[in-house]
Structure 1
Amino acid sequence: MGEGKDQLVLERVGEWLDRHWKWVVLLAWLAFCAWLLNQRWGPVHAFALADTDDNLRMAQVRDLLRGQDWFDLRQHRLNPPAGANIHWSRLVDLPIAGLILLLRPFVGGASAEMAATAIAPLLPLALTLTCLALVARRLIDPRSFLLPAVVLIYAGSALGMFVPLRIDHHNWQLAFLALAMAGLADAKPARGGMVVGLATALSLSIGLEMLIYLGIAAAAVTLFWVADDRERRRLASYGITLAGGTAFGFLLFASYDNRLAVCDALSPVWLSDALIGGASLFILSWLSPADWRKRLGLAVLAGGIIAVFHALAWPSCLSRLEGFTPQAVDLWLSHVREARPITMHGWRTATLSLSIPSAACWVGACWPGFVVTIARRC
């Protein structure tokens, strides 16, 4: 009797969580906010932006609020008098500047900046938690949406990107990567493809750090279609949104300097790749032969065309994307931790980086079964 009552209680709790999961995620986010603000209250109160990138972001936001042109991202405190081209995006400036403008009439300029830098990193955390909850609901169980939040507590490197005062752009990139994952897990193909394309375009509008993961998302959408012709709507909506969203992001956020063929930001280089890639995927979805082998062949052909175009049109972007001289690399860039090759990092970083090749090996090991499954469907 007791076990039956316990089971009934658990079922009712599960049903309640399933119905109200959005509110529970909101409460989890508020709990994260309270915890992180408490952890960082000392530096927040002292307005201690510890990282160079955070300080440079604050300088960029201040310049914007003081009248610097929207498309002028030159930082004149660097390399005077001409200034240095900063390949960052105004997209990340918007929430910080908006919070400052909102709070300044009530608390003054200095306190508004302090509050904005404390609140701004928590906004992409809300998007990240929501998207990861959706992924868990769609791939594991509708009641498992809190599992990613629990795991995130122990993911120090990832959680560190969302702490107050961390106003660099990496937190938004992680949030949009989570949004892409939610799109991949969406059972509605058209909506899922659109979400992945939008997340990719937004991430590219910020920077290229997630390029490998965005490429994996593109490959996943394509392989979904190879495995199942019914996924052509996902492929089509992804291609359209990728091309259109990236073009819109370029028009709205590309600086004057980034309208040249630079390799380390959204520029004509990556815009042309996105346009050709999006158009190619839409054409594939339109052709969509019944045989999976033909679909796979067309996908490989499209990928080859994009790769050849990039190599022929932008050969300067086949090596290091920053475009620095060898002297600058030796004197400065080689000492920047995040720009070093994996061989120059410690064993902890090297171990974490094994996730991508490990995933590739797992896909390779599962490929024979994947092919058999497709053959049975056909």
Structure 2
Amino acid sequence: MIQDIAISMTIQGTGWKHDLLLALCATLLVLGLNAISGFPTIADLGADNDSMLRLVEVRDLLAGQGWFDLHQYRMGLTGGFVMHWSRLVDTPIALIIFTFQALGASTAAAEKAAQIIWPLSLYGLTIFVILRASRRLAGTDVAMPALVLSTAALFFIGIFHPGTLDHHNVQLLLTAASLWLMTEAPFRRSAALLSGLCAGLTLAVGMETA
């Protein structure tokens, strides 16, 4: 029992700021690798039609299309069709673009900034929640293996690369956050509520996670 208490105290003593710093370092590493190679996933999105269409949807939102109007009028037959995507993902991307435009950047530069900042922010946050969950489940000794494995795994699955504006990276982050908060629930009652909120948001973003 004394050993269990000691382990718990060790876990509690490892602050979230430390894990946030580790996640930031991993994110900067990936940013550097992409910058050195000239951001190839932005220069050539290839078959990533969803990310390209997401950017079109964000452009329409910024141009004044209504929040609840999810029509893509230029797609398909005359009149287009209604998209099944959520504005919850459009909004932060649009805010990044709007902020850079307000600072004097061109539309093209603002969009490029969003294509870099948004997926890499999700990448760093996902690593952060994985680190927090691993410490809660197994103590401080697993922090470095968790950091290395999550950094590599999330990089190679490709959904966090610059230019990836589709919603699957958001869903993965919310799912990981929900699982982490489940591990926190026995110690913090509010964590259970937040875990359920993350799970609900995951479904709101896309029902394929049901």
| Residue aligned with 1:82, SS | coil
Superposition pairs for residues 160-175 of structure 1, below 5 Å?
A: 160-175=158-173
Superposition pairs for residues 281-292 of structure 1, below 5 Å?
A: none
Q: Report the CA distance between 1:203 and its aligned residue.
A: 0.6
| Residue aligned with 2:143, SS | coil
Q: Does structure 1 residue 188 correspond to structure 2 residue 184?
A: no
Residue 4 (structure 2) aligns with: none
Q: Return the alpha-carbon distance in structure 1 between the equivalents of residues 53 and 162 of structure 2.
A: 16
1:154–1:45 Cα change, 3 Å: closer
In structure 2, the gaps of 5 or more residues are: 1-9
Q: Report the CA distance between 1:26 and its aligned residue.
A: 2.3
| Per-residue deviation, residues 193-246 of structure 1 (Å, max 9, x unmatched) | 2122111111111001211xxxxxxxxxxxxxxxxxxxxxxxxxxxxxxxxxxx
| Residue aligned with 2:68, SS | coil
Residue 30 (structure 2) aligns with: 35
Higher relative contact order (CA 8 A, sep 6+): 2
Q: Return the alpha-carbon distance in structure 1 between the equivalents of residues 40 and 117 of structure 2.
A: 10
1:31–1:138 Cα change, 3 Å: closer
RMSD over aligned CA atoms reads: 2.6
Name the larger-Rg structure: 1
Q: Report the CA distance between 1:48 and its aligned residue.
A: 3.2
Identity of aligned residues (%): 35
Q: Report the CA distance between 1:49 and its aligned residue.
A: 2.9
Kept in 1: contact 2:120–2:161 (CA 8 A): yes
1:80 to 67, 77, 91: 77
Q: Which letter does structure 2 place at the counterpart of 1:145?
A: A
Residue 44 (structure 2) aligns with: 48
Q: Return the alpha-carbon distance in structure 1 between the equivalents of residues 24 and 157 of structure 2.
A: 12
1:45–1:134 Cα change, 3 Å: closer
Please report the TM-score for the alignment, with normalisation by the length of structure 2: 0.82
In structure 1, the gaps of 5 or more residues are: 1-14, 212-378
Residue 99 (structure 1) aligns with: 96
2:54 to 38, 53, 57: 57
Kept in 2: contact 1:91–1:206 (CA 8 A): yes
Q: Does structure 1 residue 117 correspond to structure 2 residue 91?
A: no
Q: Report the CA distance between 1:155 and its aligned residue.
A: 1.9
1:189–1:158 Cα change, 3 Å: farther
Q: Return the alpha-carbon distance in structure 1 between the equivalents of residues 179 and 49 of structure 2.
A: 30
1:206–1:37 Cα change, 3 Å: farther
